[in-house]
Amino acid sequence: MPHQRAQQLLEAASRIILGKEHELRLALTCAVAGGHLLIEDVPGVGKTTLAHVIARLIGLHYQRIQFTSDLLPADILGVSVFDRDNSAFRFHPGPVFAQLILADEINRATPKTQSALLEAMEEQQVTADGQTFTLPAPFFVIATQNPTTQIGTFPLPESQLDRFLMRIRLGYPAPAAERALLMGEDRRELLQRSAAVITPQDLVDLQRDARQVQVAERLADYVHRLLAATRQSPAFSAGLSPRAGLALLAAARAWALIDGRDHVLPEDVQAVFEAVAGHRLHLAADGRNASSQHLRTTLEAVALPG
Amino acid sequence: MRAELQRDTRHWLIATACLTVAPHTLWLPSWLSALCAILLGATLWQAARARRALPRMLLLFIALAAAAAIKLHFGHFFGKDPGIALLAALLCLKLLESRSSRDARAVILLAFFLQLGLFLNDQTLAIAALALCGTLAATVTLQSLHLGAQPVRVRLRSGAMLLAQALPLMVVLFIFFPRIPGPLWGLPADAHSGLSGLSDTMAPGSISELILSEAIAFRAAFDGPLPPPEERYWRGPVLSEFDGRSWREARFSTAAQPPYVAAGPAYRYRLTLEPHNRHWLLALDYTDQAPPGSRYASDYKLLSTRPLRERIRIDLQARPQTRPGAQEDAAVLAAARRLPSTGNPRARALAAQFAAPGATPAEILQRTLEHFRDARYVYTLNPPLAAADSVDDFLFDSRAGFCEHFSSAFVFTLRAAGLAARVVTGYQGGELNPVDGVLVVRQSHAHAWAEVWLPGEGWRRVDPTALAAPARISTGLAEALPAGTVLPLLMRAEFSWLRQIRQRWEAASNHWNQWVLGYDRERQHELLQRFGIGDTGWQRLALLMSAGIALLVVALLAWAYARPRRGDALDRAWAALCAKGAGRGHRRQAWEGPLDYGRRLAGACPAQAQEVHAIATEYARLRYRPPADGDAVRALAQRIRRLKLQ
């Protein structure tokens, strides 16, 4: 049963990352939905650990790219080097050719470098010197970024943000979890000792199953009304796009699958709504990303029959 | 709109026409009923076989022929009967040529009108029920013109809903509409014909014909205990004049005061008389304190100042133990002793034996009573045809008869012996309806008994029938007749279940009569006074009515707007659960999904947590995992109905 494997994975991950069940679940949902994840938070709350844990527990081929202001596109995608033996250029694949990529502090690189990764994410392939190289499957990018107010950052433009299925925040751990963290053994060692719970093939199967989760007419209607509500709300500068609607449904499907259902409920949509819509909506007042409070208000404005 | 009629609408239309015309066949001339049946049959055939419509010329010809036949039958086109006949024929013809929804609408309007027409002929509960069915069918048909195909149950329900919405308006109009005196529906001419009841003459056979009728003569609702059966004599015409064959009423005078001093225990009752076109009120002997509109006759019956052409209701009081007539007028007594000069010689001879010289009237009466008791006369519904000397024939030859023979022979014998005596007709007994405690008196309770005048005592009631068949008085007709007599169905003991049904039905009819048909000015006044509305002038009523209607319209509008949008059966079932939860103080938030709400409600009601959780999960599955299966939806709805949150 695929969803039982997903549950096992979540349980194992929760043992390493304490008190972040919901965020872990969202991250897995994002992977099962076949999207990419953006984690935005201050340094030191466990963004990198989360990416590590996922890679380790699924047994994915993992690459970490630390983004800096002098990082170049070729540093990510790879370079063509002249091979003397064959008298031809040979492509040396960059770190992007991995199953899970942690793009750390993506907003510290220049827009040119950022867009190189984002294009690769979107196309699932890399083109160099007229040759196309397909990226491996599954292909999952976890990017982290520091809050945009920090010095030395190039904020991702809206169109690039849209390429991430979800954006989540980790936040500080709950008091009990934090005490356990301080008292317990080193997370890195714990991570080193843990083995894969599922295989990459399992993730591919989960992704396929998620696409087959049913969406009733009534639910599509609910999603539509939710989209309409963001478009009509004076709080947002622009409402959610149809692509955002599709993203919302894809995420809800994956969430329902992990919950062990073959059909999407409004609860699934509500559970992923903040993660899917948060970085796609901007406040009309100051142009910043919509807060949880605004998203919650939007959800509560759309009634379900009964 | 020239849209073709849907097949389904056509069927509804035919059903409506059948339901509308069927009750009218009770009054329509039989040839017209047959014509309607043929036309409806033709429509049905046409619909079933999808045949083309009949040529217009043929329809026109049938219409003209039917109109001519109606004119021939009734002699004119005016008035209720030919009018309804014409409309019924037109309804059937219009149905036959109906092609578009415009035609259908005309048929439906005609059907509505004919439902009203039913009440011109009959206003009983049964007819009202039939009219309601017809109206429902017409409403459903009207709906089916506008809505697409739907299951019959859904159609009927929404039709009934529409009618139910009109109900409050109907009630307001019924209560407040100013009443005019007279019956609500019956036309004045109707009351003059076809009513059965007692008559003011009595010849052998006149009562035994009446007695086979189960029709209700009147009802009496007593305040408190009923008088014992032997005191239940309801007085009708008093017959003093005998011509050798039939008895007639003598002349009498009327007065506002009773010609006797009432004494003994009093019984108060409300009498509801069916119309019989005569003046007599058939009050229980002997009335005390006659209500306005009635007068006492000198022979003690109570009369109405106007003939009873509609059902009336009066409150009366009787004192059965009154002894009237101690000082009787000499002319009355002379009339009560008079006999034809010839005829019935054997009876006269018998009377001469009783009136031996020196015998007191009381002794003569005693001997006559003993003779009637000892002679073993047979009480029968089918007496042999009387010969010319009917009294002799009964007393000596056939020795079998009915109450009229008994009373006639008894009074004749007493008169021949020199006593003053007379025949009293009316009703005796009555059956108590256990459903509503009302005493129902039917035509089959018609009876004739005798009164004898004794000096110093006055008129004494003697029932000679009771001497031969005591059961007639104490238990009823069926018991008193010899075994093997063919009785009307409902009088037989083995049909007691049928009688029970009839009792329920009659109790319901009585309420209908009292409160719907009998809701006249007086009742209106009575009812409104109970609500503190003393002034019931028509201006006041019109004001109240308009205010009531305005209030209703506002209430209906508010209801229509405030009502949450209702979805399908599954939505309604879920809404029912949410309402139950809200009743326990856990209202579902508008945006709350089924599982979330189920979890919250389960947490709040730990005793039913499992069931609530199961219901929420099932609802979520049915709602969001199409297609939902109807049985599962029904099962879920039932499960929710059965759930009791604590």
pLDDT digits (tens, 9 = 90+) for B573-614: 888 888 888 888 888 888 888 999 999 999 888 888 899 999
Q: Residue B638: inside a domain, yes or no?
A: yes
Q: Which of A264, A270, A304 sits opposite B590 (nearest CB)?
A: A304
pLDDT, mean of residues B156-167: 89
Please report which confidence band the pLDDT of residue B2 belongs to, taking 50, 70 and 90 as the band edges. Answer: very low
What integer pLDDT is reported at residue A192 of this predicted model?
80
Highest mean pLDDT among A184-188, B43-47, B472-476: B43-47
Highest mean pLDDT among A127-136, B122-131, B429-438, B487-496: B122-131
Which tens digits make up the pLDDT trace of B11-42?
889 999 999 999 999 888 899 999 999 999 98
Distance from CA of B569 to the nearest CA of A (A): 11
Q: Which residues of B touch A300 (CB under 8 A)?
A: 589-591
B285 plus B371 within the same structural domain: yes
Chosen domain end from B465, B494, B523: B494
What integer pLDDT is reported at residue B579 of this predicted model?
86
Please report which confidence band the pLDDT of residue B194 belongs to, taking 50, 70 and 90 as the band edges. Answer: very low
B25 plus B92 within the same structural domain: yes
Q: Residue B507: inside a domain, yes or no?
A: no
Comparing C-alpha atoms, which of B15, B24, B18, B23 is closest to residue B85? B24
The identity of residue A293, as a single letter, is Q
pLDDT at B507 > cutoff 80:
yes
Q: Are strands B254-255 and B294-297 parallel, antiparallel or unpaired?
A: antiparallel
pLDDT, mean of residues B7-11: 83
| Tokens encoding B121 | 């002929």
pLDDT at B206 > cutoff 90:
no
The set of residues, in sequence order, having a beta carbon less than 8 Å from that of A36 and lying 6+ positions away, is A30, A121, A140, A141, A142, A143, A163, A164, A165
Distance CA A226, CA A231 (A): 9
Phi first, then psi: give them for residue A31, nearest 5 degrees: -65, -40
B210 plus B294 within the same structural domain: yes
Q: Which of A218, A301, A303 sits opposite B624 (nearest CB)?
A: A218
What integer pLDDT is reported at residue B17 of this predicted model?
93
pLDDT, mean of residues A172-182: 84
Q: What is the mean pLDDT of chain A?
A: 87
B593 and A267 within 8 Å at the Cβ level: the answer is: yes
Angle at B565 between CA B560 and CA B571, to 5 degrees: 140
Chosen domain end from B470, B494, B518: B494
In chain A, which among 256-285 make CB contacts under 8 A with chain B?
262-267, 270
Q: Which residues of B touch A267 (CB under 8 A)?
A: 593-596
Please report which confidence band the pLDDT of residue B550 belongs to, taking 50, 70 and 90 as the band edges. Answer: very high
In chain B, which among 529-588 make CB contacts under 8 A with chain A?
565, 567, 571, 574-575, 577-578, 588
Higher pLDDT, A123 or A305: A123
B591 close to A (CB below 8 A): yes
Q: How far is CA B220 from CA A65, A244, B354, in A?
A: 104, 81, 41
B468 plus B588 within the same structural domain: no
Which domain covers residue B60, as residue numbers?
Answer: 7-149
B588 and A303 within 8 Å at the Cβ level: the answer is: no
What integer pLDDT is reported at residue B200 of this predicted model?
78
A301 and B626 within 8 Å at the Cβ level: the answer is: no
What integer pLDDT is reported at residue B565 of this predicted model?
57
Q: Residue B411: inside a domain, yes or no?
A: yes
Residues of B with catalytic roles? 403, 447, 463
pLDDT at B196 > cutoff 50:
yes
B231 plus B317 within the same structural domain: yes
B437 plus B318 within the same structural domain: yes
pLDDT at B112 > cutoff 90:
yes
What integer pLDDT is reported at residue B61 of this predicted model?
92
pLDDT, mean of residues B143-153: 77
Q: How far is CA B58 from CA A306, B61, B93, B107, in A?
A: 58, 5, 11, 19
The identity of residue A173, as a single letter, is P
B346 plus B468 within the same structural domain: yes
Q: Which residue of A has its CA nearest to B624?
A: A216
Q: Quote the distance between the C-alpha of residue B111 and its chain's center.
A: 25
B356 plus B439 within the same structural domain: yes
Q: Which residues of A touch B577 (CB under 8 A)?
A: 306
Higher pLDDT, B290 or B319: B319
Q: Which residue of B has its CA nearest to A298?
A: B591
B144 plus B270 within the same structural domain: no
Q: Based on the structure, what is the number of domains in chain B? A: 3
Q: The tokens 């000792």 sit on which residue?
A: A193
B591 and A306 within 8 Å at the Cβ level: the answer is: no
What integer pLDDT is reported at residue B469 of this predicted model?
76
| Tokens encoding A259 | 């919950």
User: Which of B571, B623, B629 should we substitute to test contact with A (largest number of A Cβ atoms within 10 Å)?
Assistant: B623
B595 close to A (CB below 8 A): yes
A303 and B590 within 8 Å at the Cβ level: the answer is: yes
B359 plus B244 within the same structural domain: yes
Q: Which of B588, B594, B626 sits opposite A265 (nearest CB)?
A: B594
Which tens digits make up the pLDDT trace of A91-100?
888 898 999 9
pLDDT at A257 > cutoff 90:
yes
A220 close to B (CB below 8 A): no
pLDDT at B466 > cutoff 70:
yes
Q: Residue B557: inside a domain, yes or no?
A: no
A299 and B594 within 8 Å at the Cβ level: the answer is: no
Q: What are the beta bridge partners of residue B454?
A: B458
pLDDT, mean of residues B426-455: 86
Distance CA A302, CA B568 (A): 20
B571 and A300 within 8 Å at the Cβ level: the answer is: no
What integer pLDDT is reported at residue A209 of this predicted model?
92
Question: In this complex, how many residue pairs, one in chain A and one in chain B, have their CB atoms less than 8 Å apart?
Answer: 56
Distance CA B548, CA B169 (A): 8
B85 plus B225 within the same structural domain: no
B574 and A299 within 8 Å at the Cβ level: the answer is: no
Q: What are the structural domains of chain A?
A: 1-209 (3.40.50.300), 212-306 (1.10.8.80)
Q: Residue B512: inside a domain, yes or no?
A: no
Q: Which ipTM value was assigned to this complex?
A: 0.87
Angle at B385 between CA B384 and CA B390, to 5 degrees: 105
Q: Residue B154: inside a domain, yes or no?
A: no
In chain B, which among 103-162 make CB contacts under 8 A with chain A?
none
pLDDT at B234 > cutoff 50:
yes
Q: The tokens 């005016």 sit on which residue?
A: B78
pLDDT, mean of residues B232-237: 90
Q: How far is CA A235 from CA A230, A242, A274, A300, B360, in A?
A: 8, 19, 15, 14, 117
B205 plus B118 within the same structural domain: no
pLDDT, mean of residues B86-107: 89
What integer pLDDT is reported at residue B97 of this predicted model?
85
Phi first, then psi: give them for residue B26, nearest 5 degrees: -65, -30
Chosen domain end from B114, B149, B184: B149
Q: Residue B168: inside a domain, yes or no?
A: no
What integer pLDDT is reported at residue B191 of this predicted model?
41
pLDDT, mean of residues B491-514: 79
B592 close to A (CB below 8 A): yes
A223 close to B (CB below 8 A): no
pLDDT, mean of residues A127-147: 85
In chain B, which among 366-395 make CB contacts under 8 A with chain A?
none
The rounded radius of gyration (Å) of the Cα atoms in chain A is 20
What integer pLDDT is reported at residue A263 of this predicted model?
92
Q: What are the beta bridge partners of residue B202?
A: B247
Contact B601, B615 (CB under 8 A): no
Distance from CA of B640 to the nearest CA of A (A): 13
What integer pLDDT is reported at residue B511 of this predicted model?
83
Q: Residue B331: inside a domain, yes or no?
A: yes
pLDDT at B193 > cutoff 50:
no
A265 and B624 within 8 Å at the Cβ level: the answer is: yes
Please report which confidence band the pLDDT of residue B130 belongs to, taking 50, 70 and 90 as the band edges. Answer: very high
**What sign does the CA torsion over B315, B321, B326, B328 have?**
positive
The identity of residue B379, as a single letter, is Y
In chain B, which among 175-204 make CB contacts under 8 A with chain A?
none
Q: What is the mean pLDDT of chain B?
A: 83
The DSSP symbol for B596 reads H
What integer pLDDT is reported at residue A223 of this predicted model?
93
pLDDT, mean of residues B132-142: 92
pLDDT at A143 > cutoff 50:
yes
